Amino acid sequence: MAEVYVDNKKKRNQQTAIGFGILFVLILIVLAVVGLKGLKEGKKYKTTTIYGAVGGGKENFLADEDFNEILAKEYGISVVNDNWSNGKLVKESVVRKEDGAHYDFIFFSDQRFYEYYKTAANKEAGEAPRETVLNGSLTLNTPIVIYSWDVVVDALMREQIVTQKDGVYYITDMNKLLNYILEGKKWKDIGLDTLYGSININSTDPVTSSPGATYYGLLLSIMCGGEVNEANIEENLPKLKQFYEKSGYMSFAPADLFDKYLKTGVGAYPMIVDYEKSIIDLANSNPDGFAQVKDKIRILYPVPTIWNSHCIATLTEKGNTYFEAFSNKDIQQIAWNKYGFRTGVTGGNYDVSSVGVEGLPQSIDTAVSGLRINIYNRLIEYLGQ
């Protein structure tokens, strides 16, 4: 009997030990899960808060969890982004409205405003003194493209306006397309009997919208033979105004125009102007919606096109740290794969097949330089008369 009692006691001790072992493992698992959650939420990183005055068009990317975790983990910063318009950034004193404190960086959504900010303030025009810019450059880039549909592009290829190369569609005769629009040529004139009205490319209003202004800057550059100067701008502004008047109603918000294009189809919007990033963002944020239209959509790259560049201007050393973070390859991949931004001065180097969108070129090889802000101002003022 004593031997049986000893064996039972030994078994109970073993079972107790096993129970404690299982409990210990469970505790380790719980601690690991909590720790990983803390890491994901940035709770394990000691960070310094920095502040930026930020133009629009990149809100989703700047709020991305993975992007902000890299900032916290590898650069020790957390960022507060305050929304500013480009126009206010170059006119008003760039300080925080809450406490009048200075920002660590400005993140322009248009290169022309970035370049203009680095010049002396025009006091006669009521501009506030500028902050001293320590560093900065083009940071997030996306080219102007024209979105269309399969049947429209097939017709434009027959007209030798569009050419396909390596699976990418290019508008290789922009002047011919512009002349078709200026002449009032109808869709039926190029074999599209199911489309009504004149050939047109819908865009946002250049007088009130930055994307629209960028697009009309591209048109002016093309009309001027690639170089806008005092001699040829006066000659071509009337032609640009004629083009503007033939364009009819213009949606104010770029997101609204792209949404209408997708929802109403080829009959309502045969061609629209937008950014390359829009289709990549759609493929990631709404894969079901993208799947419904991806076989019919065509992305056309004007030859030449023009970049929309979001530029950082640093105002403090903490702002410099933020700017340096954009050279991080993981951040560059997040910007491209999820939001469609090409990064760096030359637009980066990516595997375009990784985003699941067909018809994207590996690189943008033909682009005109952005116009100076005084040229844009003259363009906008002329169109708005």
Q: Residue 221 falls within a domain, yes or no? A: yes
Tell me the two tokens of residue 91: 């006119």
Q: Residue 133 falls within a domain, yes or no? A: no
Q: Rounded CA gap, 330 and 243, in Å?
A: 43
Residue 209 belongs to domain spanning: 142-306+358-383
Cα Rg, the chain, nearest whole Å = 27
Tell me the two tokens of residue 373: 């802000």
Q: Residue 235 falls within a domain, yes or no? A: yes
Q: Rounded CA gap, 355 and 68, in Å?
A: 21
Q: Residue 194 falls within a domain, yes or no? A: yes
pLDDT tens track, the chain, 385 positions: 445 444 555 555 555 555 555 655 565 565 555 555 544 444 578 999 999 999 999 999 999 999 999 999 999 999 999 999 999 999 999 999 888 899 999 999 999 999 999 999 999 999 999 999 999 999 999 999 999 999 999 999 999 999 999 999 999 999 999 999 999 999 999 999 999 999 999 999 998 888 899 999 999 999 998 888 878 898 999 999 999 998 876 766 778 899 999 999 999 999 999 999 999 999 999 999 999 999 999 999 999 999 999 999 999 999 999 999 999 999 999 999 999 999 864 445 667 888 999 999 999 989 988 888 988 999 999 998 8
Closest CA to 82 of 38, 52, 47: 52
Q: Rounded CA gap, 1 and 8, in Å?
A: 11
Q: Rounded CA gap, 244 and 318, in Å?
A: 44
pLDDT on residue 20? 55
Q: Rounded CA gap, 139 and 255, in Å?
A: 22
**What total number of domains does the chain contain?**
1
- CB-neighbour burial class of residue 135 (10 A; exposed 0-12, middle 13-18, buried 19+): middle
Q: Residue 185 falls within a domain, yes or no? A: yes
CB 378 within 8 A of CB 117: no
CB 306 within 8 A of CB 364: no
Q: What single-letter DSSP state applies at residue 132?
A: P
- Name, in order, each residue with C-beta under 8 angstroms of 195's C-beta and a sequence gap of 6 or more: 152, 187, 188, 266, 267, 270
3-state class of 360 per DSSP? coil
161-167 CB contacts, 8 Å cutoff, 24+ apart: 162/300, 166/361, 167/358, 167/359
Tell me the two tokens of residue 319: 């702002």
Q: At residue 276, what are phi and psi to the nearest 5 degrees?
A: -55, -35
Tell me the CATH number at 261.
Answer: 3.40.190.10
3-state class of 332 per DSSP? helix
pLDDT on residue 4? 46
Q: Residue 88 falls within a domain, yes or no? A: no
Q: What angle do CA 33, 38, 42 make, to 5 degrees?
A: 150
Q: Residue 255 falls within a domain, yes or no? A: yes
pLDDT on residue 82? 97
3-state class of 233 per DSSP? helix
Q: Residue 211 falls within a domain, yes or no? A: yes
- CB-neighbour burial class of residue 123 (10 A; exposed 0-12, middle 13-18, buried 19+): exposed
DSSP class per residue in 258-291 = HHHHHHHHHHH-S-EEEETHHHHHHHHH-HHHHH
Q: Rounded CA gap, 152 and 164, in Å?
A: 14
